[in-house]
Structure 1
Amino acid sequence: MAKDAERRDDRPGDGRHESANERADRQWQELMQEIRVAQTGVQILFGFLLTVVFTPKFQGLPQSDKSIYIATVLLGALATGALIGPVAFHRVVAGRRIKPQAVFWASRLTFIGLVLLLATFTSALFLVLRVATHGVLVPSLVSGVFLWYLLCWFALPLWARSRHTDELGPPDG
């Protein structure tokens, strides 16, 4: 029992009694669940974006809108790569006993993917509203939605993390 307690990487009062490997396994599963949600969104948007160039209306767009489209497609491709990256990363390093490091790098790729997804959504919204309305309110509307994304995806979680993380720091390191 004493050896088992020594093997465990417990933090007092964190409510978990798991080894570093068990923690990495749990974190990996949690990360994969999160990525599934983001992957679905980026893949649907990216798939739709790839078809736009083949529509009759695309050929009539001004060069500025075509440039926005190209930037949006590139952002979508980068977001897709970053959000699928953790799966490939895991496949390449599976069985090498480096799950904590895999979790670290997969988490970084996921964060980069979310930032790129934010840019893709914002750019796509800008293009769609610009083509659909030709209105001067488009930059204001897109800025409002961009700020909403920032609030939901980053500001609120960062606020909760700072407000509810005790002085010991986060239990997951």
Structure 2
Amino acid sequence: MNRDELTYNRDGEGTGERLDRHWNELLQELRLVQTGTQILFAFLLGIAFQNQFHTTDGFTHAVYAATLIAAALAVALLLAPVAFHRFLYRKGMRDSLVTITDRLARGGMVFLVAAICGGVLIALDVVLPRPAAIAVVAAVLLWFATFWLALPAYIRSRSDIRA
């Protein structure tokens, strides 16, 4: 019997079982964001090769560069758990694997939001006056913060159940 399996929580779930469950939940969440992030990154790569892009101003080029970098960093962080798992596979380090990959996923999501907002700003800057485009992107960022941070924090604070 593994030493991880000797500790049980109030639901009768052993530490090893809990870590496996957390790992599987994290993998499911990553599957959702990895594909979309990679598609966004590929789309952003193509923008620089459009003829019209070269006629845009410095602001658009700066937003594009920051957005492309944010997307690349998001891809790296959201794919990192795969590499991390390969290095730690069967090393008895599930606790580290789950903890660190959770942090990698959180970081990847931060960069994903930045890339999404940057992409929206690039697109809206073409069809709206720049101040309006920036205001809309600020609202989009607030929308993400509300549903990704504020609402879960509110629900968690109201709950007596701790994972």
Partner of 1:124: 119
AA aligned opposite 1:114:
M
Report which of the two has the higher share of helix. 2
Contact 2:63 2:122 in 1 (8 A): yes
Partner of 2:15: 20
Displacement after TM superposition at 1:9 (Å): 2.5
Task: Give the 5 Å matches for 1:127-138.
Answer: 127-138=122-133
Contact 1:78 1:113 in 2 (8 A): yes
Partner of 1:9: 7
Provide the aligned C-alpha RMSD in A. 1.5
Partner of 2:34: 39
Query: After TM superposition, which residue ranges in structure 1, 4 or more long, deviate above 4 angstroms?
Result: none
Structure 1: stretches of 5+ with no match in the other structure = none
Contact 2:9 2:15 in 1 (8 A): no
Contact 1:9 1:17 in 2 (8 A): no
1:63-103 CA distances to partner (integer Å, 9 max, x unpaired)? 22111101100000001101111111011110101011100
Q: Distance in 1 between matches of 2:153 and 2:33?
A: 19
Q: Distance in 1 between matches of 2:33 and 2:131?
A: 31
Displacement after TM superposition at 1:138 (Å): 1.3
Q: Distance in 2 between matches of 1:41 and 1:154?
A: 20
Compared CA separation, residues 165 and 41, structure 1 to 2 (3 A): farther
Structure 2: stretches of 5+ with no match in the other structure = none
Count of aligned pairs between the two proteins: 160
Contact 1:82 1:112 in 2 (8 A): yes
1:15-34 CA distances to partner (integer Å, 9 max, x unpaired)? x3221111111110000000
Q: Distance in 2 between matches of 1:131 and 1:165?
A: 48
Q: Distance in 1 between matches of 2:7 and 2:152?
A: 26
Q: Secondary structure at the match of 1:136?
A: helix
Q: TM-score, normalised by structure 2?
A: 0.92
